[in-house]
């Protein structure tokens, strides 16, 4: 751990482009214009690497939300977006992707300042990921369509029946802080391709890249009111969006607790709901692996993005015969993952999003220790003004401990031993969640057998958290409802209409 104590965690100076974005007057993006809020309330924006306030954003009022929803409603109802030739929607989306690409470095820096993640990582993962979501979904604008289907009970030639796919309408989209721009683009891309209109609310901790995206929305040529971006608190602005009678669909990514609340709140008006929620993803290491190659991968499964990943490999199950070596190999990655300020070019792990989340993660580590867990790596926080937590491995844990059962959402993994396949499948499924799972083995048969047993929306083999816009993503059990990405992602923004005409 000596390497960690000698690292300077001073934040680096911001670029001129970042300073300009940070000095933006708090405003909301409605009808392709920057408009003032109906009241004066604002929310501070903090750089988690130094704990300083660096900007302020609007805390949207009910009136602000109503104004944004009215803009999206009008834009949907007069068909200014959905009635355009699909080719035009496709091209407009690609123009937005082009603009994002042209400003990729600025977006990566803003994400690093706002979220605390390393700029290098934002530039390698978040920003290209956001762009590919838009590019892939743009193509669906011209590919969705219905079917002509002969009825089962009616004689041939007596009716003509077909289905059409129609955009679901006005969408309220609410995203979390862990991959702010990527999550926002993951939501807006299928909705835009389907012909829907949108009110997007980023997390109150990380709104900077969504606001900067709004500048590009107008430049790309989207008609006014198609994509409105507001900032504010979830329990006020988010709640208003979810309950608003003029909203047809809610798409939410965030915690299971808030997801359950949103699902209830959307029911009165029978809104369509897609929920991408929390996880406590198992990672299983079989006895046949090459430990030297596997341990860094398993460490990356939890320490990437400081463990603030819905599919973070936070429960490690290593076969008894390799357990000690795997844990030792993971511990050797400590210098690589040592937390640094987000604009430090050597950073692989940055800060935790906020003091509140930092204290929550440290609280879990302390609870684990109190419950009898031993620390095999980390277990503490480095000094400094930022919200850093050292990458942590807890061993000597049991399935009843809170560190094993609950989503910590930080760089903390609990490591357990197992002896056979059925036992580890049972342990892997011993959770309310079902978002992701990793299996590490050279044996293809074992891989398939275990993949079939684990109840999870995605299973990775010899890798972790690989996400691709063409592949459906979502959760079993309390990890969510519905799927995003791939064809399933666009379907979530379409209604099916059946037309039956008697001839
Ligand atoms: P969160 O507290 O649930 O918040 C997520 C979003 O919901 C924020 O924009 C928040 O607003 C808003 N919100 C809060 N209360 C609301 C309400 N009553 N009505 C409407 N909106 C409300 O989650 P988080 O802490 O930001 O993110 C971490 C969680 O997200 C973890 O559980 C993680 O697993 C999950 N996640 C899941 C996926 C996935 O794809 N399954 C991906 C990433 C993250 P404010 O924060 O601005 O108040």
276-318 pLDDT, tens digit each:
999 999 999 999 999 999 999 999 999 999 999 999 999 999 9
Token pair for residue 219?
Answer: 């430049």
Nearest CA to ligand 1 atom 32: 255
Q: Is the CB of 484 under 6 A from ligand 1?
A: no
Taking residues 320-348, what's their average pLDDT? 98
276 is catalytic: yes
The pairing of beta strand 159-167 with beta strand 494-502? antiparallel
Q: What is the 3-state secondary structure (H, E, C) of 56-74?
A: EEECCCHHHHHHHHHHHHH
Task: Give yes or no for a contact between 382 and 388, defined as CB atoms under 8 angstroms apart.
Answer: yes
Q: What is the pLDDT of residue 173?
A: 98
**Residue 475 CB coordination number (10 Å):** 27
Question: Residue of the nearest CA to atom 35 in ligand 1?
Answer: 254
Band of residue 6 on the pLDDT scale cut at 50, 70, 90? confident
Question: Which 3 state secondary structure label does DSSP give 301?
Answer: helix
Active site residue 106: no
Q: Label the pairing between strands 436-440 and 458-461.
A: parallel
Residues 447-466, mean pLDDT to the nearest whole number: 98
Report the C-alpha gap between 402 and 372 in whole angstroms.
11
Ligand 1 pocket, mutate which of 65, 176, 244, 249 (most atoms under 8 A from CB): 176
**C-beta neighbour count of 134 within 10 angstroms:** 25
pLDDT given for residue 3 in this prediction: 46
User: Distance between CA 182 and CA 205 in Å, rounded?
Assistant: 15
- Starting at the edge strand found earlier in the chain, the sheet holding 315-319 runs 374-377, 392-395, 412-418, 315-319, 282-285, 436-440, 458-461
Q: Is the CB of 114 under 6 A from ligand 1?
A: no
Block residue for tokens 């949108």: 198
With a 6 A CB cut-off, is 435 part of the ligand 1 pocket?
Answer: yes
Separation of alpha carbons 42 and 56, rounded Å? 6
- Percentage with pLDDT > 90 across the chain: 98
Would you say the CB of residue 458 lies under 6 angstroms from ligand 1? no
The mean pLDDT of 418-429, rounded to a whole number, is 98
* CB 311 within 8 Å of CB 278: no
Helices 104-115 and 127-140: crossing angle in degrees, nearest 10, is 120
Q: Please tell me the pTM assigned to this model.
A: 0.96
Q: Residue 85: is it exposed, middle or buried by C-beta count within 10 angstroms (0-12/13-18/19+)?
A: exposed
pLDDT at 33: 98
**Residue of the CA atom closest to atom 46 of ligand 1:** 203
Q: Which two tokens mark 209?
A: 């890249």
Instruction: Ligand 1 pocket test: pick from 234, 311, 313, 358 the residue with the most ligand atoms within 8 Å of its Cβ.
Output: 234
Closest ligand 1 atom to 255 CA: 32
Cα–Cα distance measured from residue 108 to residue 103, given in angstroms and rounded to the nearest whole number: 9
Q: What is the mean pLDDT of residues 458-473?
A: 98
pLDDT in tens, 97-140: 999 999 999 999 999 999 999 999 999 999 999 999 999 999 99
Strands 412-418 and 392-395: parallel
Is the distance from the beta carbon of residue 230 to the nearest atom of ligand 1 less than 6 Å? no
- Segment 62-70 shows an average pLDDT of 98
Residue 440's pLDDT band (cuts 50, 70, 90): very high
Catalytic residue among 204, 276, 407, 484: 276
Question: Strand (E) positions, 409-493?
Answer: 412-418, 436-440, 458-461, 480-481
Cβ of 277 below 6 Å from ligand 1: yes
User: Exposed, middle or buried by CB within 10 Å (0-12, 13-18, 19+), for 41?
Assistant: middle
Tell how far the Cα of 181 is from the centroid of ligand 1, in angstroms.
14
Asked if pLDDT for residue 222 goes beyond 90, the answer is yes
The predicted pLDDT at position 268 comes to 93
Helix (H, G, I), strand (E, B) or coil at 228: strand
pLDDT, one tens digit per residue, over 393-412 is: 999 999 999 999 999 999 99
Q: 176 CA distance to ligand 1 centroid (A)?
A: 4
The one catalytic residue among 50, 171, 185, 310: 310
- For residues 65 and 305, give the distance between their C-alpha atoms in angstroms, rounded to a whole number: 31
Please report the DSSP string for 347-407 in residue order. Answer: -SB---S-HHHHHHHHHHHHHHHHTT-EEEE--S--SSSS-----EEEES--TTSHHHHS-
298 C-alpha to ligand 1 centroid (Å): 26
Residue 25 has pLDDT above 90, yes or no: yes
Cβ–ligand 1 contact at 172 (below 6 Å): no
For ligand 1, the distance from its centroid to the CA atom of residue 225, given in whole angstroms, is 25
Token output for 153:
């009970």
């Amino acid at each position: 751990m000596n390497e960690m104590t000698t690292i300077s965690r001073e934040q680096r100076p911001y670029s001129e482009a970042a300073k300009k974005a940070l000095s933006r007057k708090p405003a909301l993006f409605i009808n392709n214009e920057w408009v003032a809020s109906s009241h004066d309330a604002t929310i501070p924006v903090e750089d988690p690497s130094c704990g300083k306030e660096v900007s302020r954003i609007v805390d949207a009022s009910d009136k602000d939300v109503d104004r944004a929803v009215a803009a999206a409603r009008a834009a949907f109802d007069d068909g200014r977006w959905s009635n355009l030739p699909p080719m035009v929607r496709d091209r407009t989306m690609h123009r937005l992707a082009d603009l994002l690409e042209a400003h990729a470095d600025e977006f990566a820096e803003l994400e690093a300042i706002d979220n605390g993640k390393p700029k290098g990582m934002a530039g390698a993962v978040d920003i290209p990921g956001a762009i590919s979501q838009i590019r892939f979904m743009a193509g669906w604008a011209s590919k969705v369509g219905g079917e002509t289907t002969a009825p089962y009970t009616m004689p041939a030639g007596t009716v003509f029946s077909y289905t059409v796919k129609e955009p679901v309408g006005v969408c309220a989209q609410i995203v979390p802080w862990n991959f702010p721009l990527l999550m926002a683009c993951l939501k807006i891309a299928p909705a835009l391709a389907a012909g829907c209109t949108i009110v997007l609310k980023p997390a109150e901790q990380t709104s900077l890249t969504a606001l900067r995206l709004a500048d590009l929305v107008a430049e790309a040529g989207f008609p006014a009111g198609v994509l409105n971006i507001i900032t504010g608190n979830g329990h006020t602005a988010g709640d208003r969006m979810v309950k608003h009678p003029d909203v047809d669909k809610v798409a939410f990514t965030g915690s299971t607790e808030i997801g359950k609340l949103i699902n209830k709140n959307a029911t009165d008006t029978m809104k369509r709901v897609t929920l991408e929620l929390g996880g406590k993803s198992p990672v299983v290491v079989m006895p046949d692996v090459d430990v030297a190659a596997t341990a860094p991968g398993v460490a990356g499964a939890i320490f990437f993005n400081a463990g603030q990943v819905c599919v973070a490999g936070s429960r490690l199950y290593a076969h008894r015969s390799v357990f000690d070596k795997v844990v030792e190999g993971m511990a050797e990655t400590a210098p690589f993952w040592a937390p640094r300020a987000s604009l430090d070019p050597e950073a692989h792990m940055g800060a935790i999003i906020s003091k509140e989340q930092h204290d929550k993660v440290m609280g879990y580590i302390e609870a684990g220790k109190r419950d009898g867990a031993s620390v095999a790596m980390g277990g503490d926080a480095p000094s400094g003004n930022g919200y850093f937590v050292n990458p942590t491995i807890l061993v000597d844990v049991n399935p009843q401990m809170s560190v094993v059962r609950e989503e910590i959402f930080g760089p903390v993994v609990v490591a357990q031993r197992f002896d056979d396949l059925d036992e580890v499948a049972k342990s892997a499924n011993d959770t309310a969640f079902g978002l992701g799972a990793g299996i590490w083995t050279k044996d293809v048969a074992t891989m398939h057998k275990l993949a079939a047993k684990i109840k999870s929306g995605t299973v990775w083999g010899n890798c972790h958290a690989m996400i691709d816009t063409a592949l459906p993503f979502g959760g079993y059990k309390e990890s969510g409802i519905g799927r995003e990405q791939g064809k399933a992602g666009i379907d979530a923004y379409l209604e099916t209409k059946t037309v039956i005409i008697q001839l």
